[in-house]
Amino acid sequence: MNDLRLSRLPGGAVVLTAAMPHLRSVSVGIWAGAGGRHESARLSGISHFLEHMLFKGTRRRTAKEISEAIEGVGGYLNAFTTEDHTCYYAHVGADRLGLAVDVLGDMVTRSVFDPAEVERERQVIREEILSYRDQPSQLVLEKLAAATWPSHALGRPVTGTPESVARIRRADLIAHQRRVCAPALVVFTAAGAVAHDEFVRAVAPVARRLPAAQPARAMPFAGRVRPTIEVHADDTEQAHLALGFRIFGRQDRRRYALRLMNLVLGENMSSRLFQELRERRGLCYSVQSGSQLLAETGLFTVQCALDPANASRAVRLVLRECERMSRSAVSAAELRRARDAAIGQFQIGFEGASNRMTWLGESWLGYGRLADPSVIEERFREVTAEQIRHVAEAVFRRARLAFAVVGPGADPRQAAEWIGG
């Protein structure tokens, strides 16, 4: 833990660094602890719209000059928006740390929101949304979120819809920027060849320019609404299926057992679902499970695409494997492989500067602390086969099940029959 350091700046912003002195580069991020779940239905997608606009010019740089400043020194500049946070980041040579902070800070605190750029980017985002709708594997996950969290911000796509994006005005973007970039929500992160005190000095002027505004507030999820079924009839060759079980939030200690359960059930090619649906029965090219943990809720998913004639059979097989996980403990060999895989993936993912920078931001915004990596590895080693069975029993309940289908002739009544509704 000696390589991880934390400082708090006046106003409330947090600074986190992970020193990796053997590297010659540094990854820098400015995080805002707000995303899609901090939006109203009327302005759905505004956090993502804001992300786009912060690349479109500041009082000191044009949009092209923002890109040139980082790309001109061989660096990389990008951003992403999720349900509960947004990150603007750059990766540059270690001697360009000041430049990366200057450019990112300029974007976050001095963007001008030129009216012509707002209108141009509105059209760009519309095309982005439509491109996702043309990808059934992406669309079915959007539908699954809507089925999991009906009438809630978490059930809406982070990008918004063409209709909601059309409603967002320049004044809305400026007001939203003030709320999501309030000091209490901002985290500065750096990993790589970086000295903590130097980074603190570099970001301090940026922190002083952050707007003194009331922070954006997330829409809470009470969990009383039962998940539903969402279908979208489309002229595709395959039926795209996504089953989802609404689960606990990220602070739950069962998350370690959940991680191992996922590895056994469907994360990779040696998993039960892949072996059963693809290797033994040849029903699909790929089947995969995964989980998403948010503050007070989460989602465990199983997704595959296959011949519509085999959809009902595939759903029954998936549910059968889920039930088997909840009834019988995994074998000693499965448990050992899952433990080793989870620890190995964590170690590999912790190596690169970009990965570690991301881990810093997500850990702080998600948990309010930085866990010792060795403690995380130990938590995986402590998971037992019975704990995996118990978490499966808690997760795989029909009352928690949401279901989405995208494909030819997709029908709600038929979908309900497939899951035994």
Average pLDDT over residues 329-336: 98
Catalytic (active site) residue 267:
no
Q: Are residues 184 and 236 in the same domain?
A: no
Does any domain span residue 220? no
Does any domain span residue 129? yes
pLDDT tens readout for residues 365-412? 999 999 899 999 999 999 999 999 999 999 999 999 999 999 999 999
Does any domain span residue 373? yes
- Give me the number of domains the chain comprises: 2
Q: Are residues 250 and 314 in the same domain?
A: yes
**Minimum mean pLDDT range among 62-71, 98-107, 214-223, 361-370:** 214-223
In the prediction, which pLDDT does 225 show?
A: 86
Q: Are residues 258 and 312 in the same domain?
A: yes
Beta pairing partners, 92: 26
For the cut 80, the answer to whether the pLDDT of residue 206 exceeds it is yes
Residue 401 vs residues 320, 380, 395: alpha-carbon distances, Å: 14, 27, 9
Average pLDDT over residues 292-297: 96
Q: Are residues 197 and 241 in the same domain?
A: no
In the prediction, which pLDDT does 311 show?
A: 97
Q: Are residues 195 and 239 in the same domain?
A: no
In the prediction, which pLDDT does 279 show?
A: 98
**Cβ contact 416:231 at 8 Å:** no
Average pLDDT over residues 233-257: 97
pLDDT tens readout for residues 105-129? 999 999 999 999 999 999 999 999 9
Q: Are residues 111 and 47 in the same domain?
A: yes
Residues of the domain holding 79: 4-209
Q: Are residues 162 and 248 in the same domain?
A: no
Q: What is the CATH number of the domain that holds 116?
A: 3.30.830.10
Quote the tokens at residue 213.
């505004």
b/e sequence 246-262, b meaning 16+ C-beta within 10 Å: bbbebebebbbbbbbbb
**Minimum mean pLDDT range among 278-282, 328-332, 347-351:** 347-351
For the cut 70, the answer to whether the pLDDT of residue 421 exceeds it is no
**Cβ contact 288:294 at 8 Å:** no
Q: Are residues 194 and 243 in the same domain?
A: no
In the prediction, which pLDDT does 25 show?
A: 98
Marked catalytic residue, from 51, 142, 334, 362: 51
In the prediction, which pLDDT does 132 show?
A: 96
Picking from 174, 209, 244, the residue at the C-terminal end of a domain is 209
Q: Are residues 272 and 201 in the same domain?
A: no
Q: Are residues 204 and 76 in the same domain?
A: yes
Average per-residue pLDDT for the chain: 97
What are residue 294's phi and psi, to 5 degrees?
Answer: -115, -170
Beta strand 186-192 with 14-19 is parallel
HSE-up (13 A, CA, CB side) for residue 72: 9
Q: Are residues 288 and 364 in the same domain?
A: yes
In the prediction, which pLDDT does 371 show?
A: 87
For the cut 70, the answer to whether the pLDDT of residue 200 exceeds it is yes
Contacts of 10 (CB under 8 A, 6+ apart): 207, 208
Q: d(Cα 176, Cα 320) in Å, to the nearest integer?
A: 46
Contacts of 209 (CB under 8 A, 6+ apart): 105, 109, 110
Longest dimension (CA), the chain: 62
Q: d(Cα 169, Cα 172) in Å, to the nearest integer?
A: 5
Contacts of 364 (CB under 8 A, 6+ apart): 14, 16, 31, 187, 189, 370
Burial of 217 (0-12, 13-18, 19+ CB in 10 A): exposed
Burial of 280 (0-12, 13-18, 19+ CB in 10 A): exposed
For the cut 90, the answer to whether the pLDDT of residue 222 exceeds it is no
**Cβ contact 139:132 at 8 Å:** yes
Average pLDDT over residues 71-84: 98
Does any domain span residue 224? no
pLDDT classification of 1: cutoffs 50, 70, 90: low
Does any domain span residue 349? yes
Residue carrying the six token digits 């012509």: 116
Does any domain span residue 219? no
Residue 78: name the closest of 22, 140, 18, 27 by CA: 27
b/e sequence 166-186, b meaning 16+ C-beta within 10 Å: eebeeebbeebbbbbbbbebb
Q: d(Cα 354, Cα 349) in Å, to the nearest integer?
A: 9
Q: Tell me what percent of the residues of the chain surpass a pLDDT of 90.
A: 96
**Cβ contact 126:71 at 8 Å:** no
Does any domain span residue 218? no
Residue carrying the six token digits 């979908």: 415
In the prediction, which pLDDT does 80 show?
A: 98
Average pLDDT over residues 164-175: 98
The pTM assigned to this predicted structure is 0.96
Picking from 159, 180, 209, the residue at the C-terminal end of a domain is 209
Average pLDDT over residues 67-77: 99
Q: Are residues 285 and 189 in the same domain?
A: no
For the cut 80, the answer to whether the pLDDT of residue 322 exceeds it is yes
Does any domain span residue 196? yes
In the prediction, which pLDDT does 223 show?
A: 79
Picking from 148, 177, 209, the residue at the C-terminal end of a domain is 209
**Cβ contact 156:219 at 8 Å:** no
Phi-psi label, residue 409: left if phi above 0, alpha if psi -120 to 50, beta otherwise = left
